[in-house]
Structure formats: structure tokens, C-alpha cells
């Protein structure tokens, strides 16, 4: 039998979450995702649109995931230090 020294420390987890989010360090939240619904899959597109036709492999992209919505990208502060993003999506 393998013994581990890991224990659940939910208070430490919440503190880490709060520290990461308040400092704007969102990269750990890139790995947390949920599956897209059909609406999200067919409205999140990247790639070429030629003669009004969207290529099949262009559907379902959200950040660098396909078919999944990253928690990181759902945060209102994501990329808001980048002036190219701010001009299109100002914080309210």
C-alpha cells in the first residue's frame, strides 16, 4: 500500500484562489474548462471565412481550446491590461 502525505486543505485552496485572482495571475485557470453547448460551439469561430462559408475546423475555438470554455477566458479582467483588447471591451 502506498501512503501519501496529501491532505485536503480547503481553506488553503480558497486562499490560493483569492491570491491568484486578486493579483491577476490567471494562467492556472486556463486548465479549468467546461464543455461547450451547441450554441457556443457554432458561434465561437476562428479561421477563414471564404465566400461567406466557414471552414468546418474553424468552429468551436475558445482561447486555445476547441470544444471547451476556459475558466480563464470568462474572467472580466482577462487581457484587460492589453490596450488592443481594452479599446474593444472596456471594463464597466
Residue 8 to residue 80: CA distance in whole angstroms: 34
Task: Please state the domain count of the chain.
Answer: 1
pLDDT at residue number 29: 85
Look up the domain containing 56 and give its range. 30-92
CB 20 within 8 A of CB 26: yes
pLDDT at residue number 68: 92
Residue 36 lies in a domain: yes
CB 70 within 8 A of CB 83: no
Residue 40 lies in a domain: yes
pTM above threshold 0.75? no
Summarised one tens digit per residue, pLDDT across range 38-83 is: 998 888 887 766 777 777 778 888 888 899 988 888 877 765 555 6
pLDDT at residue number 35: 93
Residue 21 lies in a domain: no
Amino acid at each position: 500500500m502506498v501512503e501519501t502525505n496529501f491532505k485536503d486543505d480547503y481553506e488553503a485552496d480558497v486562499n490560493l484562489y483569492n491570491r491568484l485572482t486578486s493579483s491577476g495571475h490567471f494562467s492556472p485557470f486556463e486548465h479549468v474548462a467546461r464543455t461547450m453547448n451547441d450554441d457556443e460551439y457554432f458561434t465561437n469561430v476562428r479561421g477563414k471565412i471564404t465566400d461567406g462559408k466557414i471552414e468546418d475546423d474553424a468552429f468551436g475555438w475558445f482561447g486555445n481550446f476547441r470544444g471547451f470554455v476556459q475558466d480563464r477566458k470568462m474572467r472580466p479582467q482577462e487581457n484587460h491590461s492589453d490596450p488592443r483588447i481594452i479599446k474593444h471591451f472596456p471594463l464597466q
